[in-house]
Amino acid sequence: MHDVIVVGAGSAGSVLAMRLSEDPNCRVLVIEAGDVPTSEDLFPTAARFSANREATTVPNHPNTWSYELSITSDRRWKTPRGKILGGSSAINGSYFVRGVPADFDEWAALGLDGWSYEDVLPSFRAIETDQDFDTHAHGTAGPIEVRRAANELLSPLSVGFLEACERSGFPVEPDKNAGSAPGAGLLPGNVTLEGFRSQPGVRCIVPHLGRSNLTVMGNTQVQRILFDGQRAVGVEAVGPAGDRTNFMADEVVLSAGPFNSPHLLMVSGVGPADMLRRAGIEIVQDMPGVGRDWFDDPCIWVPYRPTPELAIHRQEMFAPQAALNFDSGNAPAGDLEVILFAQPMGALGHAMCVILHREDSRGSMEIVSPDPGVPLRLAYNFGSAGRDIERLASAVATCLDIMHQSPFHDQIEEIAPHISQFYKDDTGLTTWVRDVFGATAHTAGSLSMGKSTSESTVVDRNLRVHGLENLRVADASVFPTPLHRGPFATTMMIGQKAAGLICDGDEKSSRQSAEGYLLASNGGVADGR
């Protein structure tokens, strides 16, 4: 019997398990479907080096899950997620930028007390040690090492790009994690000087595997949540040898990511009743919000060829070095992003990634079988609402403008010809963008946090599943609205904050005072619905 079972040792689950198990009286069981290497050097190269793209480009890579979705009504798309200790943070771009203050203030305005920017800031600080800034906004003692490219690892391309942004009239944003106005600046990354990922699996779990109250099981996949009436009492899981075991606990937390957490709920009988019945699943709780209206950021890659002396490829170099955040001219502000990748991205070569944040389109998810091994039917439904495609196309136009601005323009020999043909041709550009855009894997919002009075929400402000006992969700699924930036740092913040919420406030505050993390991160939210 455990106090807490955490399902999934990904970006949020790893932080959560580390913080919970700081209390020697809290027995924590983490169940992870992927490998759990017991030391950093046992991680495969693909997961270890930030600049390595193998896990995301090799089909059926052993360290990834692969999902097939429809991206628009007439196009299919494949997207990976990490399946190894650290989850998607073991294969992601290591871009470590928080949501902006307005994102969290919007969450608080939805009635989610405890989630304003001021409330979540201590949790952001608690997860990081920022190597470059030591201000009120930054952490100095957290497990994740955060830095911006510097010295010989700062590519002249990044410097040229930032200068071109400035010459194009965009403001400078020197610290993208300070909550200041959007502009052009170096990107914070969770990377070491050697180019290793400073990711939560490595930094939050590996050093604490010796804790007697922390058990981490790898290659073990949770199949369903076990209920006694409306109370979660444990999970059923299948181990590496195919052995099926029930694990019991006082509380179950789903941290299996924005596709697998809702899938686990649905296969366990929690979801839209009609859909579950059609799939042959017995209902535990009708919950229309499960898997509904989730979101992802559409994106497009703009490849370029730098002059030969700048075409550097170094394993220790952090690739997404600089970014411009700016407005499409429509509300909400700061919805567009152009990221400069300063070294080749596998077969794609050097490229800029153009991203639309704050999209209006919403994804859908349908369960079709009671067998957890049968994939969900997933659709992004991009282009189904608002002006998402037009906004993304306007960002590509800005990206092309910057590529034609000195000094960046002098550093590149060629912009991909199939794209440069649309420079100054807005109509052709929009048509082309509609035909070829992709998705960033910034999926979130499939188990949205909100008041129980709203049909579309699933968890309350304390991350408890509405109407059920002893069951919470702590991962990217719970975002109530899309962010203005990538989701990774914010997802880790949710793991940190969840630990504070799970603990009985007063008792836990004193238990944690030696390290001070939970005390700092709880944000004073009373436990209740």
CB of 17 to ligand FAD, least distance (A): 11
Contact track, ligand FAD, 198-227, x by CB under 6 A: -----------------------xx-----
Cβ proximity to ligand FAD: between 65 and 422 the closer is 65
Taking the mean position of all CA atoms in its chain, how far away is CA 134?
25
Compute φ and ψ for 339, nearest 5 degrees: -110, 130
CB of 91 to ligand FAD, least distance (A): 5
Pick from 256, 299, 355, 503: which binds ligand FAD (CB under 6 A)?
A: 256
CB of 311 to ligand FAD, least distance (A): 22
Asked if 88 is part of the footprint of ligand FAD (rule: CB under 6 A), the reply reads yes
d(CA 255, CA 260): 9
Question: Considering only 6-14, 167-175, 429-437, 502-510, which stretch makes contact with ligand FAD by CB under 6 A?
Answer: 6-14
Q: Which residue has the tokens 């505050």?
A: 509
Q: Which residue has the tokens 């369960």?
A: 367
Pick from 6, 91, 265, 447: which binds ligand FAD (CB under 6 A)?
A: 91
The tokens for 343 are: 């070294």
Asked if 83 is part of the footprint of ligand FAD (rule: CB under 6 A), the reply reads yes
Question: Considering only 88-96, 117-125, 277-285, 292-300, which stretch makes contact with ligand FAD by CB under 6 A?
Answer: 88-96
CB of 25 to ligand FAD, least distance (A): 25
Question: How do beta strands 364-366 and 377-379 pair?
Answer: antiparallel
Asked if 260 is part of the footprint of ligand FAD (rule: CB under 6 A), the reply reads yes
Cβ proximity to ligand FAD: between 450 and 487 the closer is 487
Asked if 128 is part of the footprint of ligand FAD (rule: CB under 6 A), the reply reads no
The answer on whether 284 is annotated among ligand-binding residues is: no
d(CA 29, CA 1): 9
Contact track, ligand FAD, 276-315, x by CB under 6 A: ----------------------------------------
DSSP per-residue letters across 487-509: SHHHHHHHHHHHHHHHS-HHHHH
Contact track, ligand FAD, 440-479, x by CB under 6 A: -xx--------------------------------xx---
Pick from 195, 257, 271, 445: which binds ligand FAD (CB under 6 A)?
A: 257
Compute φ and ψ for 212, nearest 5 degrees: -70, -20
d(CA 89, CA 489): 10
Q: Which residue has the tokens 């639309």?
A: 356
Binding to ligand FAD (CB under 6 A) within 31-70 occurs at: 31-34, 56
Q: Residue 433: left if φ>0, alpha if ψ -120 to 50, beta else—which one?
A: alpha
CB of 34 to ligand FAD, least distance (A): 4
CB of 259 to ligand FAD, least distance (A): 8
Contacts of 503 (CB under 8 A, 6+ apart): 20, 23, 26, 511, 512, 518, 522
DSSP per-residue letters across 338-381: EEEE-S--GGG-SEEEEEE-S----BEEE---S-TTSPPEEE--
Q: 177 with 418: CB under 8 angstroms?
A: no
Q: 28 with 77: CB under 8 angstroms?
A: no
**Annotated binding-site ranges:** 222
Residue numbers at the binding site for ligand FAD (CB under 6 A): 7-13, 31-34, 56, 80-83, 87-89, 91-95, 221-222, 255-258, 260, 264, 441-442, 475-476, 486-488, 491
**Annotated binding-site ranges for FAD:** 222
